């Protein structure tokens, strides 16, 4: 299991969310799920966590996202990074 993680200040969450759902870059074609986390003190700042079955699939998704240029419209962002699942502890 692997993930793309990226932080973006989307400016207007309600306007951004439908565009995210369209997935114009096709970055989530091979994804198995995603989570959108919002900063309660700055609700237009989101952390995206997109889950993939493999590191390879996550890298392909990240590359599609970057090649599309869709992130270029956001000044305040961290470029997407791929992380591999290392451990999970449920409490």
> Contact 34/20 with Cβ under 8 angstroms?
no
| Domain hosting residue 38, numbered range | 2-84
66 falls within a domain: yes
Q: Check which CATH number belongs to the domain holding 17 and give it.
A: 3.30.70.100
91 falls within a domain: no
Rounded CA gap, 64 and 79, in Å? 13
28 falls within a domain: yes
- How many helices (H) does the chain have, and how many strands (E)? 2, 4
Q: Percent of the chain beyond pLDDT 70?
A: 100
| Closest-CA residue to 47 (of 61, 33, 34, 64) | 34
State residue 65's pLDDT score: 95
Local structure of 40: helix, strand or coil: coil
90 falls within a domain: no
| Structural domain count, the chain | 1
State residue 77's pLDDT score: 94
pLDDT per residue as tens digits for the range 10-53: 999 999 999 999 999 999 999 999 999 999 999 999 999 999 99
pLDDT per residue as tens digits for the range 54-87: 999 999 999 999 999 999 999 999 999 999 999 9
């Amino acid at each position: 299991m692997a993930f793309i993680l990226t932080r973006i200040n989307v400016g207007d969450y309600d306007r951004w969310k439908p565009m995210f759902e369209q997935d114009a870059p096709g970055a989530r074609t091979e994804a198995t799920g995603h989570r959108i986390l919002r900063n309660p003190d700055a609700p237009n700042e989101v952390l995206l966590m997109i889950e993939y079955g493999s590191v390879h699939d996550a890298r392909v998704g990240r590359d599609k996202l970057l090649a599309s240029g869709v992130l270029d419209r956001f000044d305040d962002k961290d470029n997407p990074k791929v992380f591999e699942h290392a451990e999970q502890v449920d409490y």
